[in-house]
Structure 1
Amino acid sequence: MDRSVELDELVEHWTLLDDERVLLSGKSGAGLLGFALLLNFYTRDGRFPRGRGELPEPVVRSVADQVKVPASELGLYDWFGRTGERHRAQIRAYLGLRECSVEDADKLTSWLAAAVCEVERDHARVREHLLSHCRAERIEPPTPGRVDRIVRSALHQAETALTCRVAARIPVAGIARLEAVVDVDVDPDGANDVPAEVDAGEDVLGLVKSVPGNVSLESMLTEIRKLRMVRAIGLPAGLFDDVAPKVLAGWRARAAVESPSHLRTHPLELRLALLAALLHSREREITDTLVDLLISTVHRINARADRRVTQELVNAFKKVTGKENILFSIAEAALAAPDEAVREVVFPAVSGGEQTLRELVHEYKTKGPVYRRTVQTTLKASYTNHYRRGLIELLEVLEFRSNNTGRCWTPWNWWPGTPMPG
């Protein structure tokens, strides 16, 4: 406790009320002062002090003045003897509290495990819930050591109950495949214990945990393979519907840093829950990665086609200046001799003759729809020659959904480089 105490705090928390003074009758000296301090401390902090060291001097002097006992008398008070126990019992009776018995501790542990620890795994927050529940149930909070034991027991009970519930939902074939991921001995007659997508001796867990590389066909194929491996385990839908997101995230993080040998040391239910949480979360993460790869790859194909066509045309591109003057000269010459040949009338009217007109036409083509058609042709060629295999596999593993009932489309009627349907 902070040794400096403000006057406002002394008045608010360390002033004896009239109904509290009734309890002081029959007491004197150190017993009177000690009882008054115990009472005020409990009403302030919800527990009894652990000794003289938790009571600042200003508090002792203030209470001593109120009960007309010298502050020095507190040194004679029997904090943990029969006098202290009797005083604490009187205060509990006055406040309508009871000590936390073994039965109360068991009930508190069961309540925490069922009502708190299945959604909250932080020790400090579970402890706050426990103390709040003690106040609501009019139970004197246990000692700090006992509180920690109750919290740890409740966390363990909740995790055991959750992991057993999750493991019970996994089919036998799925359990065999999860065990195979960490190379646990399984029944050789088990149903498809190793997915067809997994090569013999392959570190499936390491591959699933790995992060994607840069945008490329190779990284796309690797992520597709990961997703197929995860799906081949056969985890049922709704496996974690009643598991709090922070609990699921904690299991996923725990499984991600533990080696296969460490995972094998856990009880079966916990091992299955950790592996299932990791694979369930990675399936979503890999799917998000593949969507990003799809978008990035399409943009890359389009940008590369743009650059290639631009590079091919830039050397041949020559901007023609004075287009309005050229148009006027051509019109004037044509009107002056409408029956004469173009080569004899129009070409001489333009500075540079036939070559200038050719450059003018070429400039139009490189700026207009012909340029875009050239880019589109190059883009399709790039898709056909290099990215086709990866993109087809990618579109096969992704499931596209839409809440638009007015239009229906599939990935097969969308071509890279064109706007994706809304």
Structure 2
Amino acid sequence: MARSPTWPSDWTSLTDIEAYDWQGRTGRQQRAEVLRYLGIRQSTGRDMDRALRWATKGLCPLGLSPAIMVDRLTAWFAEQRVGCPEGEALDRLVATAQRRFEDQVLAAVDAALSPELKARLDSSLADADPVSGFSSLKADPGQPNLDNILLAARRLDFVRSLALPAATTLAFDNPIARTLRRPGSQ
């Protein structure tokens, strides 16, 4: 059994613990002693890979904010009895998980599209056509008059003619769609 860590004798409250210099030589030594006493080992590259896989598969599909993902990862490291990375390292772990998840979702969408459909979508992105051009498709339909209503109907017909597979059409309230949406576009 690990021996109890030694504490400064003048600690009387939580404020004393929070104010303690944990980064100094003595603080680092006592911190290591506390972690050893609690049975928490230092994390390895393998632990970081496991955490990354767990975050990518278990957290990212939920559409959680980075702050909530950090909290859940911190809890995961505690459950594993492994030292949790701090600050920027944990933020990088979350960002990497999000990028991997986005890559996986986009790869699945890419795999669901036929070459013909990809060509039509590429054409739409490059085309300035008022009906099928991407900029036109995302533009405001304008004032409600007959010409604008007919133009909007032709745009809708074009989108429907694409017959996008279900895997590519995420509902707006879907957490995956929220993850992929550009910041500020909501």
- CA distance in structure 1 between the partners assigned to 2:184 and 2:28 by the alignment: 51
Distance 1:171 1:78, change over 3 A: closer
* Deviation for aligned residue 1:161: 0.9
Percent of counterpart pairs with the same letter? 22
- CA distance in structure 2 between the partners assigned to 1:114 and 1:80 by the alignment: 37
- CA distance in structure 2 between the partners assigned to 1:33 and 1:112 by the alignment: 38
* Deviation for aligned residue 1:33: 0.5
Which segments of 5 or more consecutive residues in structure 2 lack a partner in the other structure? none
- CA distance in structure 2 between the partners assigned to 1:106 and 1:243 by the alignment: 31
Residue matched to 2:139: 210
- CA distance in structure 1 between the partners assigned to 2:70 and 2:22 by the alignment: 30
* Deviation for aligned residue 1:170: 0.9
* Deviation for aligned residue 1:147: 0.5
Letter in 1 for 2:118: I
2:168 counterpart SS class: coil
Correspondence 1:98-109 to 2 at 5 A: 98-109=41-52
Letter in 2 for 1:149: R
Letter in 2 for 1:142: P
Larger radius of gyration: 1
* Deviation for aligned residue 1:176: 0.8
The alignment status of 1:232 with 2:175, answered yes or no, reads no
The answer on whether the counterparts of 1:98 and 1:140 sit within 8 Å (CA) in structure 2 is yes
- CA distance in structure 1 between the partners assigned to 2:94 and 2:142 by the alignment: 42
- CA distance in structure 1 between the partners assigned to 2:22 and 2:150 by the alignment: 76
Distance 1:162 1:147, change over 3 A: same
Q: Tell me the TM-score normalized by structure 2.
A: 0.78
Distance 1:141 1:220, change over 3 A: same
- CA distance in structure 2 between the partners assigned to 1:178 and 1:133 by the alignment: 41
**Per-residue displacement from partner, 1:212-236 (whole Å, max 9, x unpaired)?**
2333322221111110111222312
The alignment status of 1:124 with 2:74, answered yes or no, reads no
* Deviation for aligned residue 1:140: 2.2
RMSD: 3.5
The answer on whether the counterparts of 1:118 and 1:159 sit within 8 Å (CA) in structure 2 is no
Which segments of 5 or more consecutive residues in structure 1 lack a partner in the other structure? 1-21, 45-51, 61-76, 184-199, 258-422
Q: Tell me the TM-score normalized by structure 1.
A: 0.37
- CA distance in structure 1 between the partners assigned to 2:128 and 2:140 by the alignment: 21
**Per-residue displacement from partner, 1:220-276 (whole Å, max 9, x unpaired)?**
21111110111222312343469971331454x43997xxxxxxxxxxxxxxxxxxx
Residue in structure 2 matching 1:254, options 176, 182, 185: 182
